[in-house]
Amino acid sequence: MLSIFAVALSLFVLYGDVLIARTHAEGHSECRYPFRTIGNNCYFISKEKATPDKAFALCLRRGAYLANLETLEEAMLIKYELQQMKTGLHFFIGGRNINRYVPGGDWRWIQKGKMNKMTYKAFGTRQPDGSNTLPQDCIMFYSRERYILHDVPCDHPAWSSGYICEK
């Protein structure tokens, strides 16, 4: 009897993490193609090129919004996914600067008509560098620096790139 208990306990110790992780991943049944579960949320990573403003609209058409990476952990998971894809594309997410007069900007996540203040800043060196005369009020994962965050103009066609929607 004791040996059966010991075997059961050993199996749980060996495979418990796998079972818990699998149950957690299966808990996001609302992620439907083309969305997929990354961490605790549903994302669609599009390689279609668009400006940040167009990407915002394209996500809305899918019943989603440009990704709001509200924790550094969430941002790191997405960054890792992008690095693994090896596309060389930049990808827009849903952060916006709502006040160019504040040094460094006043960055917010835009989601379903609400704005939430960013709790972390993970911009690259000398970023954000937009100004009142050269506005750069949108955010992208910048592929040339291993997907560090950069601020960019929201509507300039030269900055067309991929985008990430979230549900």
The answer to whether the beta carbons of residues 23 and 40 sit under 8 Å apart is no
Report the C-alpha gap between 109 and 22 in whole angstroms. Answer: 30
**Element at 74 (helix H, strand E):** helix 72-85
The answer to whether the beta carbons of residues 91 and 124 sit under 8 Å apart is no
Count of H-run helices and E-run strands, the chain: 3, 9
Q: What is the largest CA-CA distance in the chain?
A: 77
By the 10 Å C-beta count (0-12 exposed, 13-18 middle, 19+ buried), 137 is classed as buried
Does position 154 have pLDDT exceeding 90, yes or no? yes
Encoded amino acid at 25, one letter: A
**Element at 23 (helix H, strand E):** helix 2-26
Rounded average pLDDT over 43-66: 97
The answer to whether the beta carbons of residues 49 and 162 sit under 8 Å apart is yes
Does position 73 have pLDDT exceeding 60, yes or no? yes
The answer to whether the beta carbons of residues 87 and 143 sit under 8 Å apart is yes
pLDDT digits (tens, 9 = 90+) for 5-40: 343 334 333 444 433 344 344 444 589 999 999 999
Cα dihedral: 66, 140, 39, 45 (round 10): 60
pLDDT value at residue 29? 57
Q: Domains in the chain, start-ordered, CATH in brackets?
A: 36-166 (3.10.100.10)
Encoded amino acid at 84, one letter: Q
